[in-house]
Structure formats: C-alpha cells, structure tokens
Amino acid sequence: MGGEVERKRAKEYRSSTISAEVVANYAKQMDLAEKERIAAVANELKKYPPALHEIRKYNRTIKQEAERLCRAASPSDADNADPSLVRIWKSSELMTYQFEILELIANETLVDLPRKTESEVYKIFHKCVRIYELEAEKRNISVSIRGSSPRAIVCDKTFPIIPTVLLENAIRHGLSDTEVRVRVEDVGVKRCRISVSNIGPRVETLPDIFEKGVSVDKNAGGQGVGLYLAQLVARQHGTLITLDQAKYSERGDVYTFALGLETL
C-alpha cells in the first residue's frame, strides 16, 4: 500500500469511497490470517509422524502374527498356507512399503544416505513381486520375474522403493489379461539391468513422468509422486530409470522401465 500503483488507481477512481487505510487494514488482516493458517498446517504436520509411528506398530503386530500363523500352518513354504491368512500377511507387507514411501515424501533428504548394505537385487524384486501378485490378481494381471541374482551395495532404507513404485505403477496402468514382466540380467562386467514392463493403454505423447506431480492418468489413482521418488532413489544409487514405449497391438503399448546398477 502507498506505492505508485495505488496513486495511479486513486486518480483513476476518484469517486471511490474506500479509504487507503481501510484497504491497508484489510490486507494486514488477510496477511495475519494466512500466517495463522500456515502455522496451523505446520502444527498439524507435527502430529503426522507420531500417527504414522502408531499405525506402523499396529501393522507390525498384524504382519508378524499373520506370518507366525502361516509358518505354523505350512512350515516348508509359508506362502502356501491358508490364502486368506497369506493375504493378510502380504497386505501388511505392502503397507510397510507404502509407509517407506510416505517417509520419503516427508523427508527427501533420505536419498542422501550412503549405500552400505550388500544385497541380492533379485531377492528384493522377488519379494516385492510376491507381495504385489495379490494386487495384480484383482486386475486380472499376472506377474513374472526371471533373471540372475547379482549382488549390489544399496541403501537398505530407500532401495526397496524402486521395485515398489515400478511394480505398483505397472499393475495400476496395466491392461487386464496381460502380464507384468520383471527381469534382472547381468550385462557386462559388474553391471546388471533391471526392467519392469507392462502393457498399458497407448499414450501418444508421454509427459515427463519422472517430474513431481505429473501423472499420465489421474483416474488410475496415482498422485504423480512415486516415479519422482523412485528416480531420486535411482540417482542415489548412481543410475537413472528410463522409460521405453513400443507398439504392442491395437489394445495398447508395451512400457518398459529400466535401470542399470553396479554390482559386486
């Protein structure tokens, strides 16, 4: 208030009965209200981590009890226990992955953590496939995984976010009666290539789907955050996720997300 623009406006609208003082007071009140709103949101956000913490505790109880029951019922292969029990167990496994994504949304600096843990890449993806098979079944999609079992040094806190996001994405956007294929292959010396492909509806011009907030199909349920986070995690591991689109049939295209990874 009180600037050049205000003076011009005052000359332009001489008959206006609203005084500059009233407008200034109103603007000041609006500023205060905005500050209070921001403070209230910040305050609410502080409640979010403890709430998440409590939910994770309940999830742990459900998961571990379900796993104990499955192992007691089928000691040689717990995955073959009563399907309804296995469903509870795997659903809580899925929740754990989702919590990790939420944690990364709340604290993106986690992708600055060092890579310290020697892990079997295939095993991480295989576990994720077993969990997401149930989700895929609901959409009449099958999931297969094949390949070698290279070992790599990963950040155990963040790396599982990559298979979680890629599989979830492939199933969410996949057409029914199709297959999601996960492949882990050795390529060259001390390097592997991981790919997740699905068949989805054709999109003529794909946006930059690794950008925050970009979603190809809002109706499919994505928030446009998953691939952005997965790419951050890929960068943390010295690589990048790429997307390749190829024509499949009249029904749709084959979409292949792939990343290379240094192995031991």
Partner 1 sequence: MRVKAGVRKEKRVQVRLIIDGGRMLGIGRKKELAEYNPQLTREELIKRCRILVIDDEKPSLIDDLSRDGFAVDYDNKGDDVSKIEKNIYDLVLLDFGGVGMAYGRDQGLSLLKHIKRVNPATFVLAYTSKSLPPEQSAFYRLTDGTLYKDAGIQESFERIEQSLRQALNVERIWDGIVQLALKNPEDRGELEKTLMRCLKKKKFDNLYDRLAHEVGQSVKDGLVGGLVAKLIDLAMKGAVGG
Residues in contact with partner 1 by CB under 8 A are 48-49, 52-53, 56-57, 59-60, 63-64, 67-68, 71, 78, 89, 92-93, 95-96, 99-100, 102-103, 106-107, 109-110, 112-114, 116-118, 127, 156-157
CB closer to partner 1 out of 63 and 172: 63
In the complex, least distance from residue 99 CB atom to partner 1, rounded to whole angstroms: 7
What residues have CB less than 8 Å from 157, skipping those under 6 apart? 100, 110, 113
CB closer to partner 1 out of 96 and 242: 96
Pairing of strands 191-200, 253-262: antiparallel
In the complex, least distance from residue 21 CB atom to partner 1, rounded to whole angstroms: 43
CB 110 within 8 A of CB 157: yes
Say how far apart CA 10 and CA 169 lie, in whole Å.
Answer: 56
CB closer to partner 1 out of 14 and 57: 57
CB closer to partner 1 out of 127 and 193: 127
Determine the length of the chain. Answer: 264
CB 157 within 8 A of CB 113: yes
CB closer to partner 1 out of 3 and 114: 114
Q: Which two tokens stand for residue 102?
A: 């939420």
Q: Which two tokens stand for residue 14?
A: 């001489």
CB 210 within 8 A of CB 228: yes
In the complex, least distance from residue 102 CB atom to partner 1, rounded to whole angstroms: 7
In the complex, least distance from residue 222 CB atom to partner 1, rounded to whole angstroms: 22
